[in-house]
């Protein structure tokens, strides 16, 4: 008599355990911090590789500082401080342009996010078991890198044109860091804009309507004392004026730096606190 063989019944416990160990794709915030950081790193690498594959996307970060310094120094430098004294204007202009760099780089974030949605890339990301905020934070991380490149080129051009560092190197680094923090907060605004508008052209159009008054209605290019009273009132609350003044005080080692620094940080925290949750929610629900 032959002995019967019994085939052991397979239980789904192994598959269930493996499935349970995977992070839930819809639970943004339930994933551990380590998973968030890992996702951000992987997505940031993907965005950096995109730049490597398309070097032309760095043209704005590389060429814009050069063009702005040359243009404004030779066009406005003589008028502002007298012919032959353009180097004095350089010390006024370059810290102001540090504030301007962040805003121009931030605009590119909005158009990039909008374009990624058009290509279906974002739909793919939303189907993966990753934190929704990781996709947007990774975008900001890479753009901060682009902003740092632009600011470095700006400072190099400034020193070539006669910029004098009256403060310490630490003060210069503090000015750069402050520009990075504020620029990162602006990126959330443009990400939200990119998620809201239907086309990249619409994002650019609305962005320019925001950029022009903020940039030229500020102390970036010229002192505000000659402006009419109503415009001076606007420049006083313009966050770009506070950032430009803070960077200027740090680089030129001028006094009263605490107030513009604190106001700039308050703006950065406030903008991020309001727009970042809205951007993540819009990203999660966008169809």
Could you read off the pLDDT tens digit of each residue along the chain, which spans 287 residues? Answer: 444 444 444 433 333 333 333 444 444 446 677 777 888 888 888 888 888 888 787 888 889 899 989 888 888 776 776 666 677 889 999 999 998 888 888 888 888 888 878 777 777 777 777 777 888 898 899 999 999 999 999 999 999 998 999 989 999 999 999 999 999 999 999 999 988 988 888 888 888 888 888 888 898 988 888 888 888 899 989 999 999 999 999 999 887 899 999 999 999 999 999 999 999 898 888 76
How far is it, in rounded angstroms, from Cα 268 to Cα 276?
11
How many alpha carbons lie under 13 Å from residue 195 in its C-beta half-sphere?
23
How far is it, in rounded angstroms, from Cα 140 to Cα 146?
10
- Could you tell me the CA-to-CA distances from 5 to 8, 11, 37 in Å, in that order? 9, 18, 51
Q: Which helix (H) or strand (E) holds 166?
A: none
Question: What's the pLDDT score for residue 115?
Answer: 83
Taking the whole predicted model, whether its pTM rises above 0.85 is answered as: no
């Amino acid at each position: 008599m032959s002995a019967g063989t019994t085939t052991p019944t397979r239980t789904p416990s192994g598959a269930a355990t493996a499935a349970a160990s995977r992070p839930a794709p819809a639970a943004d915030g339930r994933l551990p911090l380590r998973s968030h950081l890992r996702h951000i790193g992987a997505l940031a690498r993907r965005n950096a590789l995109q730049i490597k594959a398309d070097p032309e996307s760095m043209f704005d970060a590389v060429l814009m500082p050069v063009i702005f310094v040359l243009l404004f120094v030779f066009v406005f430098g003589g008028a502002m401080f007298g012919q032959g004294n353009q180097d004095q204007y350089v010390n006024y202009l370059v810290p102001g342009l540090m504030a301007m760099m962040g805003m121009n780089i931030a605009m590119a974030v909005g158009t990039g996010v909008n374009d990624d949605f058009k290509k279906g890339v974002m739909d793919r990301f939303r189907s993966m078991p990753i934190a929704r905020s990781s996709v947007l934070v990774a975008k900001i991380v890479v753009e901060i890198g682009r902003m740092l490149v632009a600011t470095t080129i700006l400072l190099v051009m400034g020193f070539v044109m006669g910029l004098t560092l009256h403060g310490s190197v630490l003060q210069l680094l503090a000015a750069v860091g402050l520009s990075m923090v504020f620029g990162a907060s602006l990126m959330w605004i443009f990400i939200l804009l990119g998620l809201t508008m239907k086309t990249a052209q619409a994002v650019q159009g609305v962005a320019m309507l925001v950029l022009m008054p903020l940039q030229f209605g500020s102390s970036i290019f010229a002192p505000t004392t000659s402006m009419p009273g109503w415009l001076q009132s606007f420049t006083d609350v313009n966050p770009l004026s506070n950032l430009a003044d803070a960077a200027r005080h740090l680089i030129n080692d001028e006094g009263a730096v605490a107030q513009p620094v604190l106001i700039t940080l308050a703006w950065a925290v406030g903008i991020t606190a309001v727009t970042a949750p809205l951007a993540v929610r819009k990203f999660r629900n966008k169809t």
